Structures are given as structure tokens and as C-alpha cells.
Structure 1
Amino acid sequence: MEYSRRALLRAGGALGLGALAGCSAPSDGSTTTATGGAGSTSLGVEPVASGFVSPVDVAVGGGETLVADQVGVLYRLGAGGRERVLDLRTATVNVSGYDERGLLGVALHPDFPDTEEAYAYYSAPRREGTPDGYDHTSVLAAFDWTDGVFDPASERVLLEIPEPQSNHNGGALAFGSDGYLYVGVGDGGGANDTGRGHVSDWYEANAGGNGQDTATNRLGSVLRIDVDATEGERPYGIPESNPLADAAYPEQYAWGFRNPWRLSFDEVGLLVADVGQNRYEEVNLVERGGNYGWNVREGRHCFAAAAPSEPPESCPSETPDGTRLRDPVIEYPHRGDGVAGIAVVGGHVYRGEALDGLRGAYVFADWQADGRVFVATPKGESWPTRVAPVDGLGGYVTAFGKDAEGELLVCTNETGTVSGSSGSVVRLAAE
């Protein structure tokens, strides 16, 4: 069954939109935003590929452009259209309608194709070691490139992460300039970071908090691993500079996230978009060992699980050991003038040549596209952000990518669900 945008928003609770996108609760308004155009550039789109169900990630390298379709299929884009290069539909959970599971991320090895590997993050049925009552297991796996396709039989599982609920799975993958693979992992789902599978943390005012826990699981964190090493029975290495390299879960690089939906690297650093719950969406400039606040804070504001729409006036700004809870560099409300939306979709800093008005800006969007992208200037602790209308950008934005020339690709679909064949990849272009 397909849903219109209006029906999806009206039925958000029933369809799970409160989990991915938060609820459409009134906010205090925008604190860091302004409306306006994209510099001197009027934006439109150029079609790149179509016929997907729900494209959610793009990986480029070694002359190849790959697109992950949420249903479990990885495609390669070429002059002749798209070609299926990996089919994981028998390995993933069945997804349909509104669903946050499936094939969620893809990355090519930095030395591809000399190192013939791609990495995929997908939602599998419950595997051994996943507790009773949990929904599924998130899997990070490597696949070998053979004769122009990735061989499913070559799968090398790197991580299996038990997921209590069906939502907040993260799944973003990206290699940094250090050669390590960074992985965004959500808080485990549900609402408020509480309930089944959500452990107690140091902040007693909210009864739970995987985002604030680093000792019990990997949920609510950005991980960093060395895919070119192994350590004992572990099929990957732990970088010595990881902040918790000697802890129970040494993969963790930063934490305090709800549902990191897309991450990217630029000379300004690691940018992680984190989907909010009731009131604010955020983008974080992430540093090693940083704590980004969830579920003590939502954006720059206090959060209360008991009354998510009526947060307390005060809350901690640091942990009991004195670690600062870091504010995002970008924040926007669910309602208000200027930039507003319901679920952030992380993008990239633009370093291409075709769009002079965007050069050096961080370009991202809201899932509820409304024919626009957001353009932020990397400056100071709170980046000025404006709306840039995009002619021809319809439906829902699900992800961004870059092509081999550094031009921005946008993944969309028309339904906001994992159904049909309205998914497309377009390129931002000057009109």
C-alpha cells in the first residue's frame, strides 16, 4: 500500500514516523536559520537513474558508482543504465510500506578496485546471540568484487549488532582520510531511548539511554574500525587512537546519537546528521570521543522522556566525569519560520565546479523534501543555514552522494515508503 505525503504525516504514529522523524510537536522556532536562495545559483535537477524502490546510499570509487536500494539490492550505474551487482534480499528482513530496515549503507574500500571489496550494512533476521524479543540483527559485512559483480558467497561478516526495535538503525558508512571505516549506529529504536533493550545510564531523569552508555552495547554511537587488520577472533582492527580502545566495545568513536542518518567527510571534519524526536533536527561536527547529548538533550535543548514536548528548563551540560555534551553546528525545528522539517538527511560539503553559489557550503535536506535543500556555511559554532529551492526535486529525500567530479547526487522517492518503483537518483544542477 502506498501513502501520500499528507497521509504519511497525518498517520505518523501508526506508521512509525514518530521514531524516524519525531512528532510534529510545536517547537520554540528556529535558532540558527534564515531563508533565501543558494547564493547566485538557481537550482534544478538532472536525472541520473530511476526505477529504484527506495535508494538510500551512494558509493563512488575506482570508476564505479553504486546505489543501495533499501529492499536489499545494490546497483552499479553506467552509460547503459543500472545493473544489479549484489542481491541481498534473501539475507535481509522483508521490508515494505514504511520501514527503517533493509539495505541501509554501502562503501567501497578506499583502494578499490585494487582492493576488491565493498562494505554493506543491512538488517538481517534475528541471529544467534540476539536476545529474545529483539526485532532483528544489524550486519556489517564485506563482499568481494568478481567479474564486475559482488559475490554474495564471499560475504565476510564484520559486525552483528542486536536491535531491540525495528527503527533507529543508522547504517551510514564512510571511509575517512585515515583509511578507517566509520559506521553510524542508532539507539535501538522506539521512543525516548527507553524500554526494551535500552539500558540505564548516568542521567536518572530519563529512564534509559543507549546514547549515553558506552559499556553495554554499541547502540547510539559512531564506530570506527580498521578493515585491513584483524585482532584475535575479531575480523577487523581497533585503531589505537580510538577513545575507548581498551573498553568492552572499543569500536566506539563518538556517542550520544539517536539515529545518525548519513555521515560524510570533508576538510572541515566528520559531519553526522542525527534525526530528532519531537522538536529539533541536528547536524554535528564530530570529534574523537565526543558526546552529542542524546537522550539528555535534543539538539541544543533539554529533553525529557516523561514529557517530550514539554522539556525541562534545565538539564546537565556535561556528564558526571566532566565530559561536555557537545552542541550541534546546525539545528532546525519541526515547526517554525525559515528552515523547518521532520527528519534530517545528512549531505556533503560541496567542492564541485558546476554550482558556484554552493561551493564550500554543506548541502543537506529534510526527508520531507518540499522541493528544497538546505545550505549551511561552515562558520563558527552555529552554522548559518538557508533554504535553497530546487526546481524538480519532489517527493522525499533519502540520501545524498557525490559523483566522480564532486557534483552532488540526491536520492529520492515519491511515496516515503519501501514500495513501488518511484525511487530516483538526480544530480543538482544550475538552471
Structure 2
Amino acid sequence: MISNINVFSLRFAYFLFLILFSCSFQNKETSNHSSKGSGAAAVSYSISLKEIASGLEAPVGLTYADDGTGRLFVIEQTGTIRIIRNGQLLDAPFLNISDRLDGLGNGYSEKGLLGLAFHPDYPTNGKFYVYYSAPTSAKGMDHKSVIAEYTASSNVDKAGLDERIILEIQEPESNHNGGQLCFGPDGYLYIGVGDGGSAGDKHGSIGNGQNINTLLGKILRIDINTTSGYTNPPDNPFVNKNGNDEIFAVGLRNPWRFSFDRKTGELFCADVGQNEYEEVDIIEKGKNYGWRIMEATHCYNPSTNCNTSGLTLPIDEYDHSIGISIIGGFVYRGAETEDMNGRYIFGDWNGKIFMLLQPAGSKNWERRSMTIKNASDDLHINSFGEDANGNLYVLAQNSIGVKKAGKVYQIVFE
């Protein structure tokens, strides 16, 4: 199964596998599912997937260094970063830290190498950052999430192995690890952290997502431009107040991929739901996105009459008749297809790809299903990626497990 993002815990992985392979589903549909109350019209949108690379082990992320080389960097969950140069997957990895990971096994796992972000000044300083799951000796903890800095070597296709630890977060369970790293327009590093795992965020009296004294279940924002560790931006919402200074936003369950709109600077985030609903949020400083009080726009704990005051609702949600586990994507700002400009492209682990659009003058977002013309019934989407020109990519594999071969596809809008 796809790594890191499945809404269900490990005990459901095999069950989901059977469901998905027993259905002829998803990406061939032409019906459109509107956001709640949007009244979206039934309009068909088509794409095709152009294979760029194959033979990857659980590809869970793709990004670029913005250094003029056009290279794509692919995160393999098993601990390596691979380079695609001029359409060719290089044999030698850019970075291999598989020996630093907590054990993954050969089946379903939400641990591993999960995130990669290049410093905005990478062409001059060679710095980049990774998010991975490492063993821990802390009592009662399953592992720790590590955010670390590495530096390129004199060989542009091979990074140095010297590591500077930026941040470590103890994880009580094996799942809901988040893993997204992204530099914002403000130059700060944004970090997506899950709620600590298990089911229902049963951590303390209010859960980790609502606890402002833990980094779990949050979007963090830090300044890594220091000689050691990091500092916190002075305008983070809990600086000089009760709560952790690193926190930018609270109330997340398992944010699996977020990205900034290149034009507007808005931060779009997909948050994986519990048992019923998946959601897309626009993340803003100091906002509370509801988990575990709410799952999307629905009361979760308590299941009825929950107090929604002070909570920010998602711009889109869908239930599990449509998908299983949401995969965050990107607002399209490429030059190839003007009609798609400004539309948020995202998907679900079950192989569906969606688009969100906001009609002129409206505050609501409308969701459309996108027909994949060359769809495969065993396409399971792990992540999306973007290159320097704004082209979008799908990272996928055809079965459960971190050792299974995966592929990278470029999205071609019809």
C-alpha cells in the first residue's frame, strides 16, 4: 500500500487492498463532486499521465532545486533521494540515509524518508532539508521524526553525508507522521506534523491536535538561517504566549502534502481524515482546523453538538464513498494550459484526481473529478510534485508496501 498517508491504521491495510482491487473504479469516472453547498455544474475535464520514470521504491515526493539544471528530485520512502535528469532516472542516488531510518519492514508503513525541501538560496549555499523517521530511546515512544540539514558536494548529483539536526519530535505511535517540508514566500521553513498516531487522537484529555503545548498535529514554521538549530519567527502565534513557539497552525490530523500557490502565496493543505471524511484546508497563521473536535465539517469528539467556535472549516471535503485517503497537490501555474491556471490539483490514494476551482466573485470552492484517459485500475497515488516551470507530476505505485516498484508521471491536460 501507499506509504505514509493512509487514513486507516495498519490493521486495515490489507482490508483496503482487497477493496481497491475488487472494484473497477475511480479515475475513469466523469461525474463531478461539488464542494459542500457549491452547486457545481457537471463539467468534464480530462488528463493523461505521461510516464517519466519507473523502478522507484515507494516514491512519496518530488521537487526541484531551482538551480537552472531542470533536475527533478524524487523521495523514496526507503531512504534515498533520486534524480531525474533530462527524462532519465540516474542510477546513483543523490542522498542515501536508509541506515538512519527506523525499521520499515516490507509491508505497510507510515515511517521512512518523508520530506525534502531545498533552501531558497540552494544555488549558492547548497543546503537542503529532509524529514525522516529515526529510532528513539525515549520511554514510551515508537520513534522520532527528524528534520535535518544536508549540503551538496562538489559533485552536483551527489550530496554530502554530514548532517545538522534541526529539530526532533518524539512520536508515540508508528503512524500519522506528516512529513511535508516547504519553504514559504517569507523564507521560513514550514513543517507538517501528524497527531502522533493510533486512531482518534486519544492523547490526553483533548488530543494532540488541540494541545498547543505539543508539536504534534500542527503546521510549524521555523527560521533555519542560524549556525545551530533554528529560531522561531517573532510573529508566530504563540511566541511570548502559552503554547509552543514553533506552531503556525493547530488542529491537524495527518497533513499529507501542502504547497504554496506561486501567485497568491496561499497555503493549501490536504488533511487525512479518520473514518469518514477527507479535507482540503487553506492554512493561515494562528488558525485552528478542528481535529479532533471535528473531522472536516462534522463533529467527531463529541460526535454531536461539538463546540465549533474559533475553528476554521475546510474549503472542501468528501466522504469515503468517493475516496479513502486524500493526497495534497498544487495550484497549477504552468504555462502549457491557461484554462487550468489557478486551479488546485490534488487526488486520493485510490487513484482519483480532482480539481478545485473558485468561480469569480465567489467565496466557495467547487470540486471536479478529472478523467484520466490512460487510467490503470491499480494506480495508487502517493504524492504529487511540481517542477520549476509549474508542470505537475503524479507519484504512484501499484500495490501495498514500501518495497514495491513505483513510477513518476507528468500530468498532461487535454
**Shift of residue 390, structure 1, vs aligned partner:** 1.3
Contact 1:88 1:152 in 2 (8 A): no
* Separation in 2, partners of 1:416, 1:399: 15
Whether the 8 Å CA contact 1:221–1:253 is kept in 2: the answer is yes
Q: Deviations over 1:271-308 (max 9, x none)?
A: 11100011110010111000000000000110037xxx
- Distance (whole Å) between structure 2 residues aligned to residue 126 and residue 9 of structure 1: 25
Give yes or no for the alignment of 1:364 onto 2:374.
Answer: no
TM-score, scaled relative to structure 1: 0.82
Moved more, 354-363 or 289-298: 354-363
In the TM superposition, 1:90-169 aligns within 5 A as: 90-95=99-104, 96-127=106-137, 130=138, 132-146=139-153, 147-149=155-157, 151=159, 153-169=161-177
Structure 2 portions without partners, runs of 5+: 17-33
| Matched pairs, number | 379
**1:409 alignment counterpart:** 393
Q: 1:354 to 1:251 in 2, by over 3 A?
A: same
1:391 Cα deviation after fit: 2.3
Partner residue, 1:315: 306
Matches within 5 A, 1:231-246: 235-246=229-240
Q: TM-score w.r.t. structure 2 length?
A: 0.86
Q: Which amino acid aligns with 1:427?
A: Q
The alignment yields a C-alpha RMSD, in angstroms, of 2.4
Q: Distance in 2 between matches of 1:88 and 1:38?
A: 43
Structure-1 residue corresponding to 2:57: 53
Aligned match of 1:81: 89
Superposed displacement of residue 420, structure 1 = 2.2
- The corresponding residue for 2:78 is 71
State the alpha-carbon separation in 2 of the partners of residues 149 and 294 from structure 1.
Answer: 41
Matches within 5 A, 1:32-431: 36-37=42-43, 39=45, 42-60=46-64, 61-62=66-67, 63=69, 64-79=71-86, 80-82=88-90, 83-95=92-104, 96-127=106-137, 130=138, 132-146=139-153, 147-149=155-157, 151=159, 153-194=161-202, 198-201=203-206, 209-215=207-213, 217-229=214-226, 235-246=229-240, 247=242, 249-266=244-261, 267=264, 269-304=266-301, 311-312=303-304, 314-318=305-309, 324-335=310-321, 340-369=322-351, 372-378=352-358, 380-394=362-376, 395-421=379-405, 423-431=406-414
Q: Which runs of 5+ in 1 are unaligned?
A: 19-28, 202-208, 306-310, 319-323
The answer to whether the Cα contact below 8 Å between 1:358 and 1:375 also exists between their aligned partners in 2 is no
**Percent of pairs identical after alignment?**
39
1:329–1:381 Cα contact (<8 Å) kept: no
Letter in 2 for 1:211: G
Shift of 1:14: 3.9
Q: How much does 1:148 deviate?
A: 2.0
How far apart, CA to CA, are the structure 2 residues paired with 1:35 and 1:399?
Answer: 28
Alignment partners' CA distance in 1, 2:7 and 2:197: 19
Change over 3 Å in CA distance of 1:367–1:381 after alignment to 2: farther
2:289–2:314 Cα contact (<8 Å) kept: yes
Q: What is the CA–CA distance in structure 1 between the aligned matches of 2:169 and 2:160, rounded to whole Å? A: 20
Once residues 218 and 150 of structure 1 are traced to their aligned partners in structure 2, the CA distance between those partners, rounded to angstroms, is: 32
**CA shift in 2, pair 1:68/1:223, >3 Å:** same
* Contact 2:185–2:265, Cα closer than 8 Å, also in 1: no
Between the aligned partners of 2:129 and 2:9, the Cα distance in structure 1 is 35
User: What is the SS of the residue equivalent to 1:153?
Assistant: coil
Q: CA offsets, 1:349-374, max 9 Å, x none?
A: 001122343221100001111xx310
Query: 2-side partners of 1:36 and 1:117: how far apart?
Result: 46
